């Protein structure tokens, strides 16, 4: 519950949005009608009406049940995918399962993504497959995300600090759960090219890059630490509030890995989404703004998504792109710090 409150209190990274470094080139002669722009994509073994995932954010406390119901209704209405928050709470307290399973009740046709942390997978050892399958069964999921949250954990007063064997654990999960898609999901610090290579080799079905630019879990954990008088971790949370690889950078580099990429981290508008798709993302993840809309009004998430998808369609129209595949071929300009990031990463890789 604390995490939700801090996220809604706008615990965002403080630097300017990295999406401002990406410019899409205007096409004065689109040669298509706005209504002809098609947002549909095939992802995670299903057809989606639009390339959007409502990010896994909440569950495990009484307030979450209604919020997940509202988010799921929005996903169902607009034909997009949805994740739930970490299901660790319900594994430890089965009476909380309804705060997650409500998503399937409200969205019988939606692609749902279960969610468990790499820390729990590692701690479970040989019992990890059973735990992961329990998460999937809890919400009748179509895929499962294993979230990678080292930045959050190192600040969190009660955090897990041992990630040894994480790559092998992910590979074992992918083998055990096959053919169910297993997604590696960063939570705000991005995926470096070398990490992308390791995740692809481990058999991940998709990568949720979770880059810097949106909600800062280091800042959230720092604020929680401050509340209990842990000055050391509160200071660390401040220092690491802007830690990580900007979302446009990690999106562009991860897109070369050969598996579907979900661009998440600071995607606030349909224009941001179009930029992410132009950089090679298969889908975009949206979090804080749609959650805020759901909190404020029972149908707020549905209305927010409607506007977001209209912004995306309009931006695609203005680039002359009839679908997502065409948008990936549309000209774009990369400026500022993002250009420097990409140039230096490419130089380091010898590209």
Q: Are 330 and 315 in contact (CB under 8 A)?
A: no
d(CA 1, CA 64): 8
Kindly give, in sequence order, each residue whose CB lies less than 8 Å from that of residue 154, ignoring residues fewer than 6 positions away: 161, 236, 240
Lowest average pLDDT, out of 7-11, 16-20, 83-87, 230-234, goes to: 7-11
How crowded is residue 9: how many other Cβ atoms within 10 Å of its Cβ?
11
- Calculate the alpha carbon distances from 324 to 251, 300, 321 in Å: 15, 26, 7
Residues 177-200 have a mean pLDDT of: 97
Residue with tokens 């470096």: 192
Q: pLDDT-derived band of residue 56, with 50, 70 and 90 as boundaries?
A: confident
Nearest to 182 by CA among 217, 135, 150: 135
For 126-160, give the DSSP string. Answer: GGHHHHHHHHHHHHT-SEEEEEE-HHHHHHSTT--
Q: What is the mean pLDDT of the chain?
A: 94
In the chain, what are the domain boundaries? Answer: 2-349
Q: Environment class of residue 188 by beta-carbon count within 10 Å: exposed (0-12), middle (13-18) or buried (19+)?
A: buried
pLDDT given at position 348: 84
Q: Are 318 and 87 in contact (CB under 8 A)?
A: no
Superfamily, domain 2-349: Aldolase class I (3.20.20.70)
**pLDDT for 283-296, tens place per residue?**
999 999 999 999 99
Residues 54-79 have a mean pLDDT of: 94
**pLDDT for 251-289, tens place per residue?**
999 999 999 999 999 999 999 999 999 999 999 999 999
Residues 322-344 have a mean pLDDT of: 96
Task: Give percent of the chain above pLDDT 90.
Answer: 89
How crowded is residue 122: how many other Cβ atoms within 10 Å of its Cβ?
18
């Amino acid at each position: 519950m604390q995490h939700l409150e801090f996220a809604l209190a706008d615990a965002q990274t403080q630097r300017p949005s990295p999406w401002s470094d990406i410019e899409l080139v205007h096409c004065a002669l689109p040669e298509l009608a706005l209504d002809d722009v098609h947002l549909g994509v095939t992802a995670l073994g299903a057809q989606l009406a639009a390339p959007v995932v409502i990010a896994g954010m909440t569950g495990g406390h009484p307030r979450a049940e209604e919020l997940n119901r509202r988010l799921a209704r929005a996903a169902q209405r607009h034909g997009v995918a949805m994740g739930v928050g970490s299901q660790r709470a319900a594994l430890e307290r089965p009476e909380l399962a309804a705060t997650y399973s409500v998503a399937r009740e409200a969205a019988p046709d939606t692609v749902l993504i279960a969610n468990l942390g790499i820390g729990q997978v590692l701690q479970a050892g040989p019992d990890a497959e059973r735990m992961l399958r329990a998460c999937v069964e809890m919400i009748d999921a179509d895929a499962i995300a294993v979230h990678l949250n080292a930045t959050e954990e190192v600040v969190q007063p009660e955090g897990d600090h041992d990630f040894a064997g994480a790559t092998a654990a992910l590979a074992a999960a992918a083998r055990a759960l096959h053919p169910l898609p297993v997604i590696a999901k960063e939570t705000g610090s991005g995926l470096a090219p070398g990490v992308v290579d390791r995740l692809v080799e481990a058999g991940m079905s998709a990568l949720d890059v979770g880059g810097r630019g949106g909600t800062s879990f280091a800042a959230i954990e720092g604020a929680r630490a401050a509340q209990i008088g842990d000055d050391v971790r509160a200071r660390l949370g401040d220092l690491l509030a802007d830690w990580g690889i900007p979302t446009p950078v990690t999106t562009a580099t991860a897109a070369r890995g050969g598996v579907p990429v979900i661009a998440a981290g600071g995607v606030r508008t349909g224009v941001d989404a179009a930029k992410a798709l132009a950089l090679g993302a298969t889908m975009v993840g949206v979090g804080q703004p749609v959650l805020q809309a759901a909190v404020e009004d029972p149908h707020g998430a549905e209305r927010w998504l409607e506007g977001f998808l209209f912004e995306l369609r309009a931006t695609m129209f203005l680039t002359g792109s009839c679908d997502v595949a065409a948008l990936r071929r549309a000209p774009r300009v990369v400026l500022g710090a993002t250009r420097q990031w990409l140039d230096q990463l490419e130089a380091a890789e010898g590209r």
